[in-house]
Chain A
């Protein structure tokens, strides 16, 4: 079985980083291999590797070319990438509270119209999903989740918004996501969470890790406001499920 794993492609990202590409597409199996290689690189540190960045389909390995060459690092990575993927380590599962619709999710009504259903049904479908943190990127704490139901998938907005609120929970293409900071986005905004996936001077600064499992829980605006105050004070309002 292990012998059938195809080798990833080693793509140069300049002279100080290698993109280890497992797939060109969004693919849970490829993401599993990305996260497995990421763990393997962390478990057996290589002199000269400075940082690894998992994404849906690739692992970006930053290195110092003074300490290790592209060829030597590439060989090491290929060897690690062909090892059988270890049994899934214990997955952390988070419950993330979301207030859906209204001012917190300004696109909920439009999404329901586009998908020819009701806002309540969209919320029910989104809450029913079992999601994984496939990657964190773009801005601090922006968590891209895999596992969005096929019935919820729709193209991104024609005109990206210049500013979307901190804590926005949105859908875009085959993905759903939780953004931490206010910023531009072309995704459809369904709701808002008080959870800060990134918060300076809190322990941990970054709440979620790639590979974590996520479930969304609907809350009302009053609960959101209370949670938002608590979160602002440094409390972690996401619930870590007992495993």
Chain B
């Protein structure tokens, strides 16, 4: 076996895959990657199944050293500087670390999460079919907790396959699309209008359980307590202070605040990548449009193998230079002190 030893890593970094759906009726949330498209792109680059386990790396920097043999990796998701022993590595490409070489990742510049996939996957013992970390439930492998410096991730030795890049379509949609409900009738029309008309920012006290939004106060019609019902990724619940919390993959499976709207599944990964502090808007769409977008997103996931391209050194260098030139001007607004592992979103329940 080869392995990558984590020489340094920030908070909010963990092993994640497609998650473990199927036990929400027992209170076990699926977890899994915040940005499934980026996870699938990274895995496709190194020939893995799209939702194989990868390292989900939060907004901060990280460094990994290959031991015991060469390791072939791919990086996708948030844009950030990356190099292997000084050789630049572009996002959405594969690359190989020779034994003893270190890969260094800078802070995320746009986006919040990167995915580092290993050719051959990460060795571990799945629980409920998944290696995804859910620290509260004691789940996750090889470590049932966020990653720390010194952790070791075992994988197969690099095959020597040619490196590739993957061409992902540019995102045309700027706003985050939602469908109303399930409890939008707990809000007056003008509150719903205010929600759509306003700019929102994601608070730095956000995590994999929930993204807290900062913006105008969204008032309830009948108070903020409802009898708990089920939640999904993207549920936009509005607690008593009127500042919505968007529920993320480590959410509670049930919750007792009214949910004004739900982020559509096709936009969930893009929403998860929105950096703390950056203004964005929501846009309400019909169920028909949301489901058409879900079908397009499924088509995009299926098309990933057809989007692989050979790496030409010219492409790589231009990408890397562009990445390097913008470094430092837009470091993510979150910082290590406030990006919490357990957020205040955590303390509300049970309902």
Q: Which residues of A contact B (CB under 8 A)?
A: 11-17, 19, 21, 23-26, 38, 50-60, 62, 65-66, 69-70, 135-142, 144, 160, 162, 172, 177, 179, 181, 183-187, 198, 200, 205-206, 210
Q: List 17 A-B contacts (CB under 8 A).
A: A11-B183, A14-B263, A14-B265, A16-B294, A21-B182, A24-B227, A51-B25, A55-B254, A58-B230, A60-B231, A70-B291, A135-B254, A137-B230, A140-B26, A141-B27, A186-B349, A200-B127
Are the CB atoms of B347 and A162 closer together than 8 Å? yes
Known: A15-B293, A15-B294. A142 touches B227 (CB 8 A): no
Name the one of A15, A53, A139, A140 contacting B230, with C-beta atoms under 8 angstroms. A53
> Are A54 and B265 in contact, with the CB atoms below 8 A?
no
B197 within 8 A of A: no
Shortest Cβ-Cβ A-B pairs, 4 listed: A60-B230, A137-B254, A14-B262, A11-B182
Asked if B346 is an interface residue, CB under 8 A from chain A, the answer is yes
Question: Given that A12-B181, A15-B293 are known contacts, is A60 also in contact with B21, CB under 8 Å in the complex?
Answer: no
Query: How far, in angstroms, from A93 to B293 measured CA to CA in the complex?
Result: 46
Q: A13-B230, A136-B27, A139-B252 are in contact. Are A200 and B138 (CB under 8 A)?
A: yes
What 1/0 flags go to B200-238 for Cβ under 8 Å of A? 000000000000000000000000001111111111000
Judged by a CB distance under 8 angstroms, whether B76 is at the interface is no
The reply to whether B26 and A15 contact each other, CB–CB distance below 8 Å, is no
Chain B residue at smallest Cβ distance from A137: B254
A185→B350 contact, CB < 8 A: yes
Given contacts A17-B230, A56-B228, contact A138 B265 (CB under 8 A): no
Given A14-B232, A54-B25, A144-B228, 18 more contacts at CB 8 Å? A12-B181, A13-B230, A14-B264, A17-B232, A53-B24, A53-B253, A58-B229, A60-B231, A65-B291, A70-B291, A137-B228, A137-B230, A137-B252, A138-B351, A139-B27, A140-B23, A181-B136, A206-B23
For the complex formed, measure the closest distance between the CB of A91 and the CB atoms of chain B, giving whole angstroms: 17
Contact A172 B350 (CB under 8 A): yes
CB contact between B227 and one of A15, A25, A38 (< 8 Å): that residue: A25
Task: Please tell me if B143 contacts chain A, counting CB pairs below 8 Å.
Answer: no
* A140 and B28 form a contact (CB under 8 A): yes
Residue interface bits B258-282, CB-to-A below 8 A is 1, else 0: 0100111110000000000000000
Kindly list chain A residues whose C-beta atoms are within 8 Å of the C-beta of B235. Answer: 13-14
- Nearest neighbor of B23 in chain A, beta-carbon distance: A206
The answer to the question of B168 belonging to the interface, with a C-beta cut-off of 8 Å to chain A, is no
Q: How large is the interface on B (under 10, 10 to 19, 20 to 34, 35 or more residues)?
A: 35 or more
| Residues of B close to A56: CB separation below 8 A | 227-229
A54 to B24, CA, bound (A): 9
Contacts of B23 in A (CB 8 A): 140, 206
Q: Across the interface, which residues of A come within 8 angstroms of B266, CB to CB? A: 15
In the complex, what residues of A have CB within 8 A of residue B318's CB? none
Residue B304 interfacial (CB < 8 Å):
no
Chain A hits for B259, CB < 8 A = 13
- Residues B182 and A13 in contact, CB atoms below 8 Å apart: yes
Distance between Cα atoms of A106 and B107 in the complex (Å): 45
- Tell me, in angstroms, the Cα distance from A24 to B229 when the chains sit together: 10
A residues near B295, Cβ cutoff 8 Å = 65-66
User: Within 8 Å CB of A160, what residues of B?
Assistant: 347-348
Asked whether B1 is an interface residue with its Cβ less than 8 Å from the other chain, the reply is: no
B229 lies within 8 A of A57 (CB): yes
Interface contact B28-A198, CB-CB below 8 Å: yes
Whether B229 contacts A15 by the Cβ 8 Å rule is no
Q: Which of A60, A184, A198 contacts B347 (CB 8 A)?
A: A184
Question: Is the CB of B298 closer than 8 A to any CB of chain A?
Answer: yes
Return the contact of B253 from the options A66, A138, A184, A206 (Cβ within 8 A): A138
**Bound-state Cα–Cα, A234 to B290, Å:** 45
Contact B25 A65 (CB under 8 A): no
Contact with A along B85-117 (1 / 0, CB 8 A): 000000000000000000000000000000000
Contact between chains at B27 and A198 (CB < 8 Å): yes
